Amino acid sequence: MLKRVTILDPAINTIEMKYYRYASAGGLVTLRTVVEGAAYERLKHAVGDSDANVLTASDATVNTYGNTYVSNASGRMTSETLQGRGTTTFTLVVSDSGFANDVNSWKRKTVETLPDGSTNTVFTTNTGQALLKDFQSGSQHWLTFYQYDASARLISEATPSAVTSYTTVNPPANLGVVLNSTGLFRLTTYGASTTATTTTAGDVVNYVKSLQVKQGSAGTPVTVESTTYIAHTSTQLVGVTTYMPASRTVYENTDGTGARTTNYTYTWLIPPGTSTQSNHVESMTTAYPAVSTANNGSNVSTTTIQFSDKWSHPTWSKDEDGFIRMKAWDRLTGACTQSIVDVNTSVVSGAPSGWSTPSGGGLNLTTTNINDFLGRSTKLTDPANTITYIDRPHAGGPAGQAGEL
């Protein structure tokens, strides 16, 4: 079993130590104690500043500095004691139904008793998906009931306001759930076939098509959100088709009218040394629905554009007013090394073709970061040229300090 972890930087300096101890429960090995970071250093100091002494220290000594856990004979955790937060004790009772596997039949019942005496009872299917959740506090129950289609996709969530009761003694496969005529139901529909092409937005089989709500079990579904997709096929050695959102429409009125549609268009990265498109998004243009002047808008649709590099880091972006932002990234650590708000394109090169600073812009508010080998900032220079140094200590050092110049 994993006993001790030493995290090093590329110069082989120790950054952090982690130490684990285990217990045996019902023939199973379970996690008992975790000591890490500054807690490990305090433990080490208490036993003579020796890593070797940590390994031989008594459980009582180690537990004084670590987080401890207790598990039952089934290997399930029953309590945890976290440094500075105290002990949380809970119990779990698990029972199986014996019913045949089905997407809408319960297979396992789990009852969790929380420290305040309240309980979480969850009935799950053979695939582990929740069929019914019952949170009980005192005599009050909050029931949430889920239903799935033949592909085990969620199609209905009956919220607590919509669930009256269920059979608690010897519950049948469907739990005998009683739904009412007034509560909130949330529904999800999926594409039955693929109609989206590379030029025409449409559905994609098994992709979410719409989100709906209805009032009561016999209520009429009202669409609150719908999504269409667009296809793109890479033109590299092997053509692979992917599907991206082409539009997202929300409906502002309770009868499903008042559509407000946001549209998305894309460009695709061409890998270096090739002339063929990949399925990696290079840029995404988002066109927002117009906001009327009655709602303090301009009554004109606005757009934003976001470019990304081949590692999916956001690089160049343009907001609704045409102002430009830029970010640069370290390839080794993935840390941001520079960000510029309101880019002045006469000073900064590399902007996407056709982009230029809008009238009244060009403040070039630049923040730079110098990062360590783990991508953590150690020196930050803000647009006002204020420099902040951040100490990133090795194990045994201070928790971290910052200073300004």
Q: Among candidates 240, 239, 245, which has minimal Cα distance to 203? A: 245
Q: Supply the pLDDT for residue 87.
A: 82
- Regarding beta strands 281-287 and 365-371, do their DSSP bridges make them parallel or antiparallel, or are they unpaired? unpaired
pLDDT in tens, 79-89: 889 988 888 88
pLDDT in tens, 15-54: 899 999 999 877 899 999 999 999 999 999 999 999 999 9
* pLDDT: which is higher, 10 or 96: 96
CB atoms inside a 10 Å sphere around CB 73: 11
**What are the extents of the domains in the chain?**
4-89, 328-405
Look at residue 400 and tell me whether its pLDDT is greater than 50: no
Q: CB-based burial of residue 54 (10 Å sphere; 0-12 exposed, 13-18 middle, 19+ buried)?
A: buried
Bridge partners (DSSP) of residue 231 are 243
Instruction: Find out whether 217 and 181 touch, Cβ atoms under 8 Å.
Output: yes
**What per-residue confidence (pLDDT) applies to 13?**
83
d(CA 204, CA 188): 14
DSSP secondary structure string for all residues of 137-155 = ETTEEEEEEEEE-TT--EE
Residues 130, 105: Cα–Cα separation, whole Å: 10
Q: Residue 164's closest CA among 180, 176, 175?
A: 180
Please tell me the distance from the alpha carbon of residue 154 to that of residue 125, in angstroms, as a whole number.
12
Six-digit token pair at 304? 């934003």
What's at 401, amino acid-wise? Answer: Q
Question: 361 Cβ partners below 8 Å, 6+ apart?
Answer: 322, 323, 324, 342, 344
For 347-372, the pLDDT digits (tens) are 999 999 999 999 999 999 999 999 98
* Predicted local confidence at residue 398, as pLDDT: 43
Task: Determine the 3-state secondary structure of 320 from DSSP.
Answer: coil
Q: pLDDT confidence of 397, banded at 50, 70, 90?
A: very low
Half-sphere exposure (Cβ direction) of 19: Cα atoms closer than 13 Å: 22
- Of the pLDDT bands very low, low, confident and very high (cuts 50, 70, 90), residue 373 is confident
What pLDDT score does 74 carry? 81
Give yes or no for a contact between 125 and 148, defined as CB atoms under 8 angstroms apart.
yes
Predicted pLDDT at 399: 44
Q: What is the pLDDT of residues 258-269, one digit of tens each?
A: 999 999 999 999
**Is 335's pLDDT higher than 60?**
yes
Tokens read off for 350: 């590399």
Q: What percent of the chain has pLDDT over 90?
A: 76
